[in-house]
Amino acid sequence: MSSGARTDFRQGFEKLLLERRVSEKVRPYFMRHLENWGVALRVRPSGVSKEDFLDGYITKLVHTGWMRPFQISQAVEAIRLAHGVLLEEDWAKRVDWMALRAVIPAELEDAPSELVPETVETLRVGWLKLGLSEGQVESLVAMVRVLREGGYALRTEEGYLQWVRRLMQFTGNGAVPSENDARLFLSHLAVETGVVVGTQKQALNAMAFYLGRVCGLDVVNLRGFSKARTSQRLPVVLSKGEITRLLGVADKEVGSGGLGKAYALMLQVMYASGLRVMECVRLRVKDVDFENGYITVRQGKGNKDRRVPLARRLIGPLKDHMAEMRVLFDADRAADQVGVWMPGAFDRKAPNAGKEWTWFWIFPSPRLSVDPRTNRVRRHHVHENGLQRTMKRLSEMAGIEKRVTCHVLRHSFATHLLEKGRDIRTVQELLGHESVQTTMIYTHVLNDPERSSGSPLDEL
């Protein structure tokens, strides 16, 4: 490629990223991933197709261990946008991008999606280019409408659409998929692809939603497919000493100011209240009750609300932090900015509620961003990736020699409560688990002296 062609390509790719509303902060990373891919392509062995080379390239990124899962997902998306959307190369149209992302390990229960939000018309054009029939595309468009009318999260929408689109490509007949097609596809995922149970369940949920809510089946029967192999992995739990060191480092970070201060405070809140990552970043002013000492988690997993304890030692830091955020809120009101995002149809019910202090984010982003569904510029909450990076940095500073993620704080919260003698049902309610069986996993990692001294070597 000549220098002039490279310049044109770079300008075209930058324009595409702008059209797809990739944030200004993230664009350089997309470009860097694409440059690294270009270097690798130049040494591609002769006779190896680009599709096969791409599989090996992403697998190598996964196993070298120097890139985080969200970074690998960014690399996949950059390559897809460049070759599949901008250059419209035939080989890229044959790639199963969903299957390619399936090899990337999940970093968290709430692992962030790196897909770029797209409009319905953009999605329609992309699906037609993938070779889907007009009937299949219209069915997917109807699914988008059902999802958005139902107020489903953007990540849920993206995930469901990807699975149903992949089902349509699996059938290969251009017809709207049937229940039997879905069963065959789910079996294919387990037998041929070797996906884990969680991945197969995601696909199953997408198929059931599509067949029931979009295709209009009164009863959806998806029984009889081959199940993925189950596995039981114990959660990583920090000891109380490790938690003490970690929170000590976080205390120093809170005193330093800046965005790192907010992230460190969020980590403390997550351990103190057993919150998931997204539950923490989505907290609003009205959700914290200082007088009664609890936090209300709104629309948690399963769209359920629950109350969790507010640690007394965090009341002062949280009040100081919210006083600083009030300055940001007042600046937004002075600039007549659009209010924060509101759940469900609350924008129509109370049009000005999003401009009220009680609905403001406790952990707002320092910069304004574009709402991918309405194209309105508003202030969103901080991005969870920054919180995850802060957790990694602080755990290294605390000398914790474990694979530590933000979700480990939730595991530690539950385990330490059980060690203190709290009953399993109470812990279940605080965690928001649907079944007590999910909570029972923490009984296997309790620091029980009678269990830990049971080695026969200690008896010699």
Catalytic residue IDs: 276, 301, 407, 410, 433, 442
Closest CA to 13 of 77, 75, 81: 81
Distance of CA 264 to the CA centre of its chain: 20
* Residue 285 DSSP class: G
Structural contact between residues 359 and 342, judged by C-beta atoms closer than 8 angstroms: yes
Q: What burial class does residue 184 get, using C-beta atoms within 10 Å of its C-beta: 0-12 exposed, 13-18 middle, 19+ buried?
A: middle
Structural contact between residues 266 and 279, judged by C-beta atoms closer than 8 angstroms: no
Q: 171 in helix, strand or coil?
A: helix
Structural contact between residues 136 and 90, judged by C-beta atoms closer than 8 angstroms: no
The sheet carrying 294-297 orders its strands as: 288-289, 294-297, 306-309
Closest CA to 431 of 407, 454, 458, 452: 407
| Rg (alpha carbons) of the chain, rounded to whole number | 24
* Separation CA 37–CA 57 (nearest Å): 8
* Separation CA 127–CA 122 (nearest Å): 9
Closest CA to 431 of 413, 445, 418, 404: 413
Q: Which residues pair with 338 in a beta bridge?
A: 378
Q: Which amino acid is at 46?
A: S
Distance of CA 223 to the CA centre of its chain: 28
